[in-house]
């Protein structure tokens, strides 16, 4: 049989899984997807993913791929897998990709967004969907900080320990906040992101909004590369992998 490479675009509710990547003794998106593919095609595969989203992190457009010898038309994998996958995961679309397409290594960029619920009381409907921040925030300082991320910089200070990254220079093409009534949304598009980078960027901007640091702490961190000069790592529940560009 002809071996084909199938590309999937996935949405998932990160609060229901222990992240993208397979782990023994914990449910993962990768494992659920492998199980569904096995049920559908009879083939045992480990699908590759574009980004290793942590436990709690959501996806609106995660990209995965796997090789198959099945004769199912490429675009039919989406509805067929959705009838097998649990409610927390859905395939938005499926298509045939080049034989050498790899979701992570072929990616040219990624779009993440981060949602903050900024009000006094917690929210039943935003629980697991946004970071609840009670403090009054300086939106102007946060947006100034967001603009400092644009361009090519050394992001070593914005990388969690335990990473396997060897280079720290990354280029950010878009970085901006939208301030709604209670929900604040940060969007960023870059060529690639270090481990926990968006969460450290967001946590730092919230600390800037709280007045704990001036926005220029970001410029200093580009120079020093020191993680401990920055704010907290924002929690996973506010982070969404929106889109992967190829």
Catalytic residue list: 54
Angle, CA 20 vertex, CA 19 and CA 25 arms, to 5°? 65
The span from the first CA to the last CA of the chain, in angstroms, equals 28
Q: Which of 74, 88, 138, 160 binds a second copy (CB under 8 A)?
A: 88
Question: CB of residue 113 vs a second copy: minimum separation in angstroms?
Answer: 12
Residue with Cβ nearer a second copy (128 or 165): 128
* x/- track of binding to a second copy for residues 90-119 (CB under 8 A): xxxx--------------------------
Residue with Cβ nearer a second copy (24 or 120): 120
Question: CB of residue 127 vs a second copy: minimum separation in angstroms?
Answer: 5
Contact 84, 36 (CB under 8 A): yes
Stretches 108-116, 123-131, 206-214, 219-227: which one binds a second copy (CB under 8 A)? 123-131
**126, containing H or E segment:** none
Q: Which of 11, 138, 187, 220 binds a second copy (CB under 8 A)?
A: 11
Q: How far is CA 234 from CA 69, 96, 151, 182, 199, in A?
A: 42, 36, 22, 18, 5
For the chain, the C-alpha Rg in angstroms (whole number) is 19
125 binds a second copy (CB under 8 A): yes
76 binds a second copy (CB under 8 A): no
Neighbour tally for 109: CB within 10 Å:
17
12 binds a second copy (CB under 8 A): yes
Distance separating alpha carbons of residues 227 and 11, to the nearest angstrom: 31
Binding site for a second copy (CB under 8 A): 11-13, 16, 58, 60, 78-79, 82, 87-93, 120-125, 127, 129
């Amino acid at each position: 049989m002809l071996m084909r490479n199938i590309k999937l675009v996935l949405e998932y509710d990160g609060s229901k899984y222990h992240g993208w990547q397979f782990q023994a003794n914990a449910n993962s998106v990768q494992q659920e997807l492998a199980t569904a593919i096995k049920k559908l095609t009879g083939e045992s595969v480990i699908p590759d993913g574009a980004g290793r989203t942590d436990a709690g992190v959501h996806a609106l457009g995660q990209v995965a791929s796997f090789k198959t010898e099945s004769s199912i038309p490429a675009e039919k994998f989406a509805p067929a897998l959705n009838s097998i996958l649990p409610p927390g995961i859905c395939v938005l679309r499926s298509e045939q990709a080049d034989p050498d397409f790899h979701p992570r290594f072929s990616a040219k960029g990624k779009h993440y967004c981060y949602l903050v619920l900024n009000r006094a009381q917690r929210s039943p409907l935003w629980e697991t969907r946004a970071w609840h921040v009670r403090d009054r925030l300086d939106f102007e300082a946060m947006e100034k900080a967001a603009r400092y991320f644009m361009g090519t910089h050394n992001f070593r200070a914005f990388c969690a320990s335990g990473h396997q990254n060897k280079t720290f220079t990354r280029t950010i093409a878009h970085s901006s906040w939208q301030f709604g009534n209670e929900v604040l949304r940060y969007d960023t598009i870059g060529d690639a992101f270090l481990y926990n980078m968006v969460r450290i960027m967001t946590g730092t901007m919230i600390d800037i909004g709280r007045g704990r640091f001036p926005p220029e702490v970001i410029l200093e961190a580009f120079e020093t590369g020191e993680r401990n000069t920055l704010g907290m790592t924002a929690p996973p529940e506010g982070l969404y992998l929106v889109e992967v560009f190829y």
